[in-house]
Amino acid sequence: MMRSKDKDIESMIGQKIMTGFKGTSPEDAKSFFHSLKGLTIGGVILYDQNVTTNPPSPHNIRSPQQVESLNATLQSCAETPLFIGVDQEGGEVNRLKAEYGFPNSRSWSDIGKLGNEVETTLHGKEIASSLADHGFNMNFAPVLDVAIHPENIIVQKGRCFSNHPNDIAPHAQLFNNTHLEKNIIPVCKHFPGQGSASGDTHEGLVDVSETWTESELIPYQYLIDQNCIPAIMTSHLFHHGLDPKYPATLSANILNNLLRQEMGFNGVIISDDPQMGAIADHYDLKTVIQLMINAGVDIFCFGNNLVYDPEIVPKVYTIISELLDEGLVKRDQLEVSFNRIMKLKSKIGLA
């Protein structure tokens, strides 16, 4: 536990943490916060299925009324209003499923095949309205990955809009705007572009050094220039030319030098799940957190649904405290991220 004189540091660390948890009821939400023993967090991510069991079992989302009540309780327990996030792309990546009583939603690739701005806007509005009605304020969508590699897992699941980056960009802008109108933060993913990958970062390290092209940055640059991209999620892919040592989530070359300095992004950077095999199988947690902070990641998104670690929040607090004491990260880095996060929360009325 942090010392009382470190309350400001504790708040800054807490806002960097987004985590998954087990439970479906208000009582489960209260129990989750009780388990934190006074530590704060910045957000939670909800899933409909717990994939740590075989076969997958019910997780956080069961019905509209149930999840609305769960989310309301989560917010009531939080010291600072939470980001409550979900992967609601449509199609296969669809946590608020019609079978649970939510509206049906089409895949991003189906919307791309239509190529119609009215249909894209309608798609975005339907998803954003459903999220807002049930207590969510962050959506890990849209996918900006370009459909380059036919064997890519994201392409195969209908998650890519198009194989032309210039087609993706204006439709992603429409999607983002429909969300922001409902005070839902759209999180564009997976930077710097995962559509050219042949492997799956859930399973292990994926090298795109020979397949990635700079055109995969076009949708991001367009949205940055249009000032309508409040948050970006990183990819765990490895590209020797962009960084000869680290995958994107851990890379200052890719996140700080390329995304922030060259491309001009000043919003919030959120990690893809560090519990995925591409990261967790190759680095210990302390190294991961140190590298993410030094790379410029603002929010660590621990899904807690590939593996379940009930101690992940206190572990992150302890590790960051150690890194500060050892001079391996700086307070200023935490403060810059904290200010970005709170500015983003203010944008949708959370702070």
Residue pLDDT, tens place only, 11-37: 999 999 999 999 999 999 999 999 999
Handedness of CA 182, 183, 187, 188 (dihedral sign): positive
Residue 15 belongs to some domain of the structure: no
User: Domain limits at 291?
Assistant: 22-347
Tokens at 287, concatenated: 């190294």
| Model pLDDT for residues 211-261, shown as the tens digit of each residue | 999 999 999 999 999 999 999 999 999 999 999 999 999 999 999 999 999
Instruction: With a cut of 80, say whether residue 2 has pLDDT above it.
Output: no
Average pLDDT, the chain: 95
Quote the pLDDT of residue 206. 85
Instruction: With a cut of 70, say whether residue 203 has pLDDT above it.
Output: no
Look up the CATH number of the domain holding residue 255.
Answer: 3.20.20.300
d(CA 173, CA 176): 5
Instruction: With a cut of 60, say whether residue 88 has pLDDT above it.
Output: yes
The band of 165, judged by pLDDT with boundaries at 50, 70 and 90, is very high
Please report which residue ranges of the chain form alpha helices under DSSP H.
Answer: 7-15, 26-35, 64-77, 108-114, 117-133, 153-156, 165-181, 218-225, 252, 277-280, 285-295, 312-325, 331-347
Residue 9 belongs to some domain of the structure: no
Name 50's bridge partners: 57
Tokens at 235, concatenated: 């990819």
Quote the pLDDT of residue 54. 86
Across 4-13, 97-106, 173-182, least confident range: 4-13
> Residue 29: which of 73, 61, 66, 67 has the closest Cα?
73
Residue 152 belongs to some domain of the structure: yes
Nearby residues of 45 by Cβ (< 8 Å), 6 or more positions away:
18, 19, 20, 85, 86, 87, 140, 301, 303
d(CA 272, CA 67): 23
Per the structure, the count of domains in the chain is 1
The band of 5, judged by pLDDT with boundaries at 50, 70 and 90, is very low
Residue 103 belongs to some domain of the structure: yes
Is the separation of the CB atoms in 128 and 184 below 8 Å?
A: yes
DSSP 246: S
d(CA 254, CA 348): 28
Quote the pLDDT of residue 151. 87
Residue 10 belongs to some domain of the structure: no
- Mean pLDDT of the 164-175 span: 98
- Mean pLDDT of the 170-192 span: 98
Q: Can you tell me which residue has the tokens 């079992």?
A: 57
Residue 45 belongs to some domain of the structure: yes
327's torsion region: left (phi>0), alpha (psi -120 to 50) or beta? Answer: left
Instruction: With a cut of 80, say whether residue 204 has pLDDT above it.
Output: no
Residue 253 belongs to some domain of the structure: yes
Is the separation of the CB atoms in 82 and 74 below 8 Å?
A: yes
Q: What's phi and psi for 139, nearest 5 deg?
A: -125, 125
| Model pLDDT for residues 278-305, shown as the tens digit of each residue | 899 999 999 999 999 999 999 999 999 9
d(CA 118, CA 175): 11
Residue 5 belongs to some domain of the structure: no
Going across the sheet that includes 83-86, the strands are 268-270, 231-234, 185-191, 138-139, 83-86, 43-46, 17-19, 300-302
